[in-house]
């Protein structure tokens, strides 16, 4: 089976991990060990921002970001529903209320008009998600935030290396949060990073990362243990250096797959606006209805293609979130996308031959569906 995503780990990562193990400094008491610092420096230089703070997950990064901005009980935070659990979960962890906004049908990212429809006196922040690796409409979202005195936390967990109008994702929002979970475009197994251009915010996130301490054993605010270990930071550091080449292969695979599939009847290939560079964490195609989608995925699996469905149950449809979040209007595009999208493997380990195999499998299955509702 060609898996949907796998980590690409080489000799360099193994060598650096061994160095950490031999040094016996497996972690640092304030989270600021030498490899964490190296990882942060490399990552902020890649993104093109002033500050980067490494944490032990993308969820920890999002949660710390909300806390650093003072989001608290009674506040509302606008999030898409078509996303991974963490985007809304962290708002609940901060004691605030997630408010679900709809997406744009073509990009699958949050729709700025829907953000506007959900603004209230209580709104404190917006969390756009650069879903599947495609940037959300950042200029418009930042404009809405400025007009309404709100903060923007960009959920960049899937968008390492994505670009919006020539700027890297991670350099535009008040705070951007990345994940280095094992399937992501770059990984250290589990890990996260907050990037920001504010020294003050970075300083608060550093304190939250390690028990609210300004220095060891001096707690000044409520914090957590969100420190990243030195072992994982060593892997993250090497992966940051490799990110451009990992992305190049993803983008090449995506381009070839689009060339193969763009004229196949019933298949809509990924839309990439001219002002965006997609990071292709997931290559997402769309078909006419749920029945076709589910059959296509099942048959692709029988042919050895690890096709997947991301976000079949948008968060607002789950009882847990419905009981705790606000839904002010119907999420028409979210519901439609959740029924009709599927993902195909294009990660860096997918060979040129396998891309052709995937394309051929999709074409022959779609052909056999002719006349299918
Ligand atoms: C959109 C999105 N947000 C947040 C996260 C949370 O990241 P992590 O799994 O590192 O906590 C993920 C990743 O899994 C994600 O895909």
Q: Is residue 269 part of a domain?
A: yes
Output the residue whose Cα is nearest ligand 1's atom 7: 58
CB of 226 shorter than 6 A to ligand 1? no
CB 56 within 8 A of CB 228: yes
Most ligand 1 atoms within 8 A of CB, residue of 4, 55, 84 to mutate: 84
End position of a domain, from candidates 196, 214, 239: 239
Query: Are residues 295 and 225 part of one domain?
Result: no
Give the model's confidence band at 216: pLDDT under 50 very low, under 70 low, under 90 confident, else very high: confident
pLDDT at site 133: 98
Does residue 176 carry a pLDDT above 60? yes
Does residue 314 carry a pLDDT above 60? yes
CA 295: distance to chain centroid? Answer: 27
Query: Are residues 260 and 210 part of one domain?
Result: no
Residue 347: strand, helix, or coil = coil
Distance of alpha carbon 291 from alpha carbon 368, whole angstroms: 14
pLDDT at site 370: 79
CB of 118 shorter than 6 A to ligand 1? no
CATH of the domain at 274: 3.90.1150.10
Residues marked as catalytic? 184
Output the residue whose Cα is nearest ligand 1's atom 12: 157
Give the model's confidence band at 371: pLDDT under 50 very low, under 70 low, under 90 confident, else very high: low
Q: How many other CB atoms are there within 10 angstroms of residue 141's CB atom? A: 24
What is the 330 CA–ligand 1 centroid distance (Å)?
A: 25
Query: Are residues 215 and 341 part of one domain?
Result: no
Query: Are residues 212 and 137 part of one domain?
Result: yes
Q: Is residue 3 part of a domain?
A: no
CB of 192 shorter than 6 A to ligand 1? yes
Most ligand 1 atoms within 8 A of CB, residue of 86, 185, 232, 279 to mutate: 86
Most ligand 1 atoms within 8 A of CB, residue of 54, 59, 110 to mutate: 59
Query: Are residues 263 and 143 part of one domain?
Result: no
CB 144 within 8 A of CB 100: no
Question: ∠ CA 7-8-13 to the nearest 5 degrees?
Answer: 110
CB of 292 shorter than 6 A to ligand 1? no
- Rounded to an integer, the average pLDDT of 93-101 is 98
Does residue 82 carry a pLDDT above 70? yes
Domain residues for the domain of 184 are 11-102+111-239
Query: Are residues 335 and 210 part of one domain?
Result: no
Distance of alpha carbon 152 from alpha carbon 174, whole angstroms: 5
- Which pair of structure tokens corresponds to residue 212? 């609210």
pLDDT at site 206: 98
Which residues share a beta bridge with 77? 98, 125
Query: Are residues 284 and 300 part of one domain?
Result: yes
Give the model's confidence band at 7: pLDDT under 50 very low, under 70 low, under 90 confident, else very high: very high
What is the 55 CA–ligand 1 centroid distance (Å)?
A: 13
pLDDT at site 173: 98
Does residue 373 carry a pLDDT above 90? no
CB of 232 shorter than 6 A to ligand 1? no
CB of 128 shorter than 6 A to ligand 1? no
Query: Are residues 341 and 204 part of one domain?
Result: no
Query: Are residues 325 and 264 part of one domain?
Result: yes
Residue 82: strand, helix, or coil = coil
Query: Are residues 158 and 235 part of one domain?
Result: yes
- Rounded to an integer, the average pLDDT of 218-227 is 96
* Ligand 1 atom with minimal separation from the 83 CA: 1
Query: Are residues 285 and 261 part of one domain?
Result: yes
pLDDT tens sequence across 319-329:
999 999 999 99
CB of 42 shorter than 6 A to ligand 1? no
CATH of the domain at 212: 3.40.640.10
- Rounded to an integer, the average pLDDT of 290-314 is 98
Tally of domains in the chain: 2
Query: Are residues 63 and 168 part of one domain?
Result: yes
Does residue 372 carry a pLDDT above 90? no
- Rounded to an integer, the average pLDDT of 272-283 is 98
- Rounded to an integer, the average pLDDT of 107-127 is 98
């Amino acid at each position: 089976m060609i898996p949907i995503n796998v980590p690409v780990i080489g000799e360099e990562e193994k060598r650096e991990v061994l160095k950490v193990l031999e040094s016996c400094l497996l972690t640092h008491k304030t989270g600021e060990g030498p490899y964490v610092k190296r990882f942060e420096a490399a990552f902020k230089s890649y993104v093109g921002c002033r500050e980067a703070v490494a944490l032990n997950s993308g969820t920890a990064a999002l949660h710390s970001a909300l806390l650093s901005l003072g989001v608290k009980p009674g506040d509302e935070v606008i999030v898409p529903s078509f996303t991974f659990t963490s985007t809304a979960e962290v708002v609940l962890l901060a004691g605030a209320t997630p408010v679900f906004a709809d997406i744009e049908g073509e990009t699958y990212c949050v729709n700025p008009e829907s953000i506007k429809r959900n603004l209230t006196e209580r709104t404190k922040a917006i969390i756009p998600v650069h879903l599947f690796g495609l940037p959300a409409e950042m200029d418009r979202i930042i404009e809405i935030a400025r007009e309404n005195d709100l903060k923007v936390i960009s959920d960049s967990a899937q968008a390492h290396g994505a670009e919006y109008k020539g700027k890297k994702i991670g350099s535009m929002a008040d705070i951007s949060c990345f994940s280095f979970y094992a399937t992501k475009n770059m990984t250290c197994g589990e890990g996260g990073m907050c990037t920001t251009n504010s020294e003050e915010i970075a300083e608060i996130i550093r304190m939250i990362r390690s028990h609210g301490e300004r220095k060891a054993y001096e707690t000044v605010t409520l914090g957590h243990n969100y420190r990243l270990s030195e072992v994982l930071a060593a892997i993250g550091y090497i992966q940051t250096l490799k990110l451009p080449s990992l992305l190049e292969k993803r983008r090449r695979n995506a381009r070839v797959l689009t060339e193969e599939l763009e004229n196949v009847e019933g298949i809509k290939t990924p839309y990439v606006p001219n002002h965006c560079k997609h990071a292709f964490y997931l290559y997402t195609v769309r078909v006419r209805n749920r029945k076709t989608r589910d059959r296509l995925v099942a048959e692709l699996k029988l042919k050895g293609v690890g096709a997947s469905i991301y976000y079949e149950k948008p968060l607002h449809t789950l009882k847990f979130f419905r009981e705790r979040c606000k839904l002010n209007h119907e999420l028409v595009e979210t519901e439609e996308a959740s029924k009709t999208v599927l993902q195909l493997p294009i990660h860096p380990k997918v060979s040129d031959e396998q891309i052709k195999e995937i394309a051929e499998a999709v074409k022959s299955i779609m052909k056999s569906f002719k006349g299918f509702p």
